[in-house]
Structure 1
Amino acid sequence: MLDGPRFWDDVQALATIGALDPKGIRRLALDTQDNHARLWLAEQGRSLGCQVYFDALGNLFLRREGQDDSLAPLLIGSHMDSQPLAGAHDGALGVLAGLAVLRTLQEQSIEHQRPLEIVSWTNEEGARFAPGASGSSWFAGQREYDDIVAALDDNGVRFGDALQECLMLLEGKGLVYRPAPFVPHAFLELHIEQGPVLEQLGKPVGVVSGIQGVNWYRIEVEGVANHAGTTPRQARRDAFDGAHELVSAMKAGIREQDDDLRFTIGRFSLWPDAVNTIAQRATFTIDLRHPDQQVLDALDSRFHALAEQEWSGCAVSLEATSRVAPVAFSEHLLAVLRESAGSVCARAPELLSGAFHDAIHLAHVCPTAMLFTPCRAGISHHPDEHIERQDAVISARVLAEAALRVLG
């Protein structure tokens, strides 16, 4: 059986890397703390006799050989990077649960037919370099390497430059460079729910049937800066007014949609950002999510049509910065997860993920499925993010049971 106390010790140990005072963590992709976490994970793998690999995007793999190493490996994992002011479990829990499965197999001398690899994907969050899920999307052939490495953070640091520092660090520690992606036999990911459903149901684990699609947009509204006190209303071309009208028109178009639709403006800025100056430029982002691609496509067309109009005399430019199609997970793996949950605890409910995860990309190259464990009040991306130890251990044991069934 999976060692629950040891698993929880690993959860606490990783939470110290990038820890903030008084609570929370900050491990932005490819920063010093994120790289420290990679080295910590690599050391855990080496201590278990695993070969540790990294690839061209800095994805880190811990490999335990099987009885037939010619077979494609089962891949288990998630990510260790975080939001700027985050909790300790988003992403990290899935990597550490994979490590716990690996530790169980090694310390109990359990043999299995095919190899097992635990993976930590690079830049899932997208908090430093947008869009996120860089490592998994490249691995799955969904994004081009050159596009990923060209991204800049808020300080003008290029993704590719930060990546090279990371790769040099890993190479300097004697890890093995494996540049090309491969096709896994299957991929399993455990993650905190980031929602309230499992807690409300009183369930320690849930089976995830699929993930909503996500469209990201960056919009600029261009007006004319002028004096706030002397410019008459009819003479104004106020970028803020234009942005407000445009957003109102967009939201009017989504009210007819079902409750699965998610529309979020996460960033909004004005320039020249002076209290007594009419805004010349308003820039904002939109995060749009839905499980039906047809709904996303229809709203995409509407947004582009609205952006072709003038609003309060201002011109608009709209850029789609990311598009990730919705996915339904492997029915075979979902059945495995249901059976595994039933052997560890009670029957697990099924949920649809409203957040995107690395699994959304892996589903394009191999059978893929996910488990959720509850988080208190559904809070995530925040220092108050909290999971119960008992729930986490049960979820990790369900993952271990499923892994044994898939490994053969």
Structure 2
Amino acid sequence: MSVQQLRINQERLWQSLMELAQIGATEKGGVKRLALTDLDKQGRDLVVSWGRAAGLSITIDQIGNVFMRRAGRNPALPPVMSGSHIDTQPTGGKFDGNYGVLAALEVIRTLNEHQIETEAPLEVAFWTNEEGSRFVPVMMGSGVFCGAFSLEHAYAATDTAGLSVKDELQRIGYLGDQVPGQHLVGAYFEAHIEQGPVLEDAGKVIGVVPGVLGLSWYDCTVTGMEAHAGPTPMGLRKDALQVATGIMQEVVNIGNRYPPYGRGTVGMVQVFPNSRNVIPGEVKFSMDLRNVTAELLDTMHQEILAFIEQRSRDTGLKIHAERVSYYPPCPFHPDCVEAVRNATAALGYSTMDVVSGAGHDAIYTARLAPSGMIFVPCKDGISHNEIEDAQPAHLAAGCNVLLHAMLASAGVVQN
């Protein structure tokens, strides 16, 4: 069999996904395996045991990131890496993150089976606390790895019970020795379910991911005055909710003004005093703006702030908006995007470009090494949900693309 004809084992990939999904399985068919819990330890131990069985050497760094290496002919070359995460949301599914890790492992198993040697080493990685469900910040392991925040900051994070990241890493046996970021990476690929409806809606099998949307998060507070809903005439009210809803609608309008990747969302609202017959005196709410370039995202930022300032002048109400989080858009490396695109074309899968609207560990690896992503459809675009689902054939297709993209990057030894 020529390298071009090489395909992964669909059944083996599916069975591995289903076996890992039994650790933390929920009654509704999903998975609850929060970072650094006993269940996370069981999941880690299982994946590491599979790596050892495939002949991989194991390295764990000080934030608990795990790297499983298959040697290449030239050990001086940095590894071509692929992976994701195996921690889940409290109501998580079987595929988010897990697919990326086990697809990378299936690539290794396939190469072993066919005795194919690469020039550069290959590595399977899984990163600590990507979801951020138990500890914040999200994407903790890859964030520490690339220097987005310090190891000490991550260690100090605690859950609702006051348990710290460092203590929990030590407790489950995944407090490694390697300094994060001292692990060289030649290139990084991450296979993932789309977590959205675009591929399924378009009837495409593979999403080539040129980049990830940047986001700006804000907390906004509108301050009016509580008053009795009956005796207070409409023209004399200082209704914080009515002013707030105008701003909320503008958030959506701004998202619609900058297609195809503009996003505007209000996801959290708190109304005070939240009483049926009292005019609201204070409203706190979140604002979420996203787009594909820093320039567009900055334009949206300026527009919402200008709108808020004008509303405050027009109504006389105090409005305070604070940006609480900012992630710049992340374009992936042209070489990695091209490797995915070429592999998809050679394999004959239907495809389209899909910019990711969600965060992934690849955002952080892209700061240190050429990185790229591969998307496959998920049923009804649903993720972070126990009913999350994907077709075995689509998962296999994404894994085949991953296989050939990694081989193109690592180089195949010609015997």
1:46 CA displacement = 2.6
Task: Name the residue aligned to 2:165.
Answer: 163
Of 116, 126, 139, the match for 1:133 = 139
265-274 vs 189-198, which moves further: 265-274
The range that moved more, 175-184 or 291-300, is: 175-184
Amino acid at match of 2:284: T
2:202 aligned with 1:196: no
The question of 1:14 aligning with 2:16 is answered no
* Cα pair distance change 1:400/1:238, threshold 3 Å: same
Provide the TM-score with structure 1 as the length reference: 0.86
Change (3 A) 1:38 1:28: same
What residue number does 1:208 align with?
A: 209
Q: CA deviation at 1:138?
A: 2.6
In the alignment, which residue of structure 2 is the partner of 1:263? 264
Structure 1 range deviating more: 201-210 or 384-393: 201-210
**CA displacement at 1:187 relative to structure 2:** 0.5
The residue number in structure 1 matching 2:177 is: 177
Q: Which deviates more, 371-380 or 219-228?
A: 219-228
CA shift for structure 1 position 280: 5.0
Q: 1:297 to 1:343 in 2, by over 3 A?
A: same
Deviations 1:195-231 (A, max 9, x none): 3333344333232222221222233334555666676
Aligned to 1:112: 118
Secondary structure of the 2:192 match is: strand
Q: Distance in 1 between matches of 2:113 and 2:176?
A: 24
In structure 1, how many angstroms separate the alpha carbons of the residues matched to 2:340 and 2:297? 29
User: Which of 96, 104, 108 is matched with 1:102 structurally?
Assistant: 108
Q: CA deviation at 1:188?
A: 0.2
CA distance in 2, matches of 1:6, 1:96: 10
Contact 1:24 1:87 in 2 (8 A): yes
How far is 1:232 from its partner?
6.4
> What displacement does 1:185 show?
0.3
CA deviation map 1:48-95 (0-9, x unaligned): 332323323332222222223222111101122333323221221111
Are the aligned partners of 2:26 and 2:32 in contact in 1 as well (CA < 8 Å)?
yes
| Residues 265 and 39 of structure 1, relative CA distance in 2, 3 Å threshold | farther
Which whole-Å deviations, capped at 9, do the CAs of 1:277-312 have from their partners, x for residues lacking one?
A: 655543322222111211111222233445556486
SS state at 1:349 partner: strand
Structure 2 residue aligned with 1:349 = 352
Q: In structure 1, how many angstroms separate the alpha carbons of the residues matched to 2:383 and 2:66?
A: 24
Residue in 2 that maps onto 1:402: 405
RMSD: 3.0
1:367 matched to 2:370: yes
The one-character-per-residue Cα deviations of 1:335-376 (angstroms, maximum 9, x if unpaired) are 222332233333533332233322222222211111111112
**Counterpart code for 1:167:** L
1:121 counterpart = 2:127: yes
**Cα gap change, 1:121 to 1:315, in 2 (>3 Å):** farther
- Retained in 1: the 8 A contact 2:156–2:165? no
Equivalent residue runs for 1:64-79 within 5 Å: 64-79=70-85
Indicate conservation of the 8 Å contact 1:30/1:162, yes or no: no
Once the two structures are TM-superposed, the CA of residue 315 in structure 1 deviates from its matched residue by 3.2
Please show how residues 17-36 of structure 1 align to structure 2 within 5 Å: 17-36=23-42
Among the aligned pairs, what percent are the same residue?
35
CA distance in 2, matches of 1:319, 1:144: 24
Contact 1:58 1:166 in 2 (8 A): no
* Amino acid paired to 2:167: E
SS state at 1:177 partner: coil
Instruction: Give the structure 2 partner of residue 299 of structure 1.
Output: 300
Q: Distance in 2 between matches of 1:215 and 1:149?
A: 26
Q: Structure 1: how far apart are the matches of 2:232 and 2:42?
A: 54
Which residue of structure 1 aligns with residue 220 of structure 2?
219
Give the CA deviation at 1:238. Answer: 4.7
- How many residues align structurally? 402
- CA distance in structure 1 between the aligned counterparts of 2:158 and 2:276, rounded to whole angstroms: 29
Write the distance in 2 (CA, Å) between the matches of 1:282 and 1:14: 44
Worse-matched range after superposition: 219-228 or 66-75: 219-228
**Equivalent residue, structure 1, for 2:3:** none
Match of 2:287? 286
| Matched-pair contact (CA < 8 Å) for 2:252–2:265 | no
Distance in 2 between residues matched to 1:306 and 1:240, nearest whole Å: 16
8 Å CA contact 1:68, 1:114 repeated in 2: yes
SS at match of 1:29: coil
- Amino acid aligned to 1:259: P
Instruction: Measure, in 1, the Cα distance between the counterparts of 2:75 and 2:90.
Output: 40
CA distance in 2, matches of 1:145, 1:276: 50
